[in-house]
Copies of this chain bind each other. A is one copy, B any other.
């Protein structure tokens, strides 16, 4: 591995937000999965949780341009399992969903350990997930369209988290586990 590449990987991992997770509930279009993974990695998300549609596993099919090598993807059979796991890790569980009970996404404190659930393109969030989550969040819309594309909604919420965490100095704290860093540096040398 060149010193430049080693340096680049180290810098990326040093900025990782290990306590900020994305959880995908049956999101299944390849271009959406790819865009979500790219955005998540760009804001330093390291853990992506996913419940797949029909045994499909888009991320495993290499939709995300290799970026998943730099992140951990955790599969769950049902959304309740994912939520249990995330809550056991001490995270607040937010669900992105357009409803009267949802608060504006900018009102949430994303400097806390946080997981954000995004749901299927057509079906949206399921009742179980809405019931199990701590809080519903919504991205305000002022036009005629009924919803945003799911990768767009994910990006808007994640960049609000990025804004808050940057202000709080959280990109200056290297919380990335040393052992995982060594493993990724090793893998990064042999692409």
- Could you tell me which A residues sit within 8 Å of B by CB distance? 8-9, 12, 15, 29, 31, 34-35, 38-39, 41-44, 65, 67, 70, 106, 139-145, 147-149, 151-152, 155-156, 159, 162-163, 166, 171
Contacts and interface: CB of A to CB of B under 8 A. Distances in A.
B152 A171 contact: no
B42 A145 contact: yes
A50 B65 CA distance: 28
B43 A152 contact: no
B8 A144 contact: yes
A62 B65 CA distance: 29
Nearest to A157: B159
Nearest to A150: B35
A88 to B, nearest CB: 26
Main secondary structure of the interface of A (DSSP, over half): helix
A67 B159 CA distance: 25
A159 B144 contact: no
Given A42-B148, A142-B162, 10 more contacts: A8-B144, A12-B143, A29-B31, A31-B31, A34-B149, A35-B151, A41-B144, A42-B141, A44-B142, A142-B171
Nearest to A64: B145
Contacts of A149: 31, 34-35, 38-39, 151
Contact of A41 (B38, B145, B159): B145
Nearest to A149: B35
Contacts of A142: 12, 15, 42-44, 162, 171
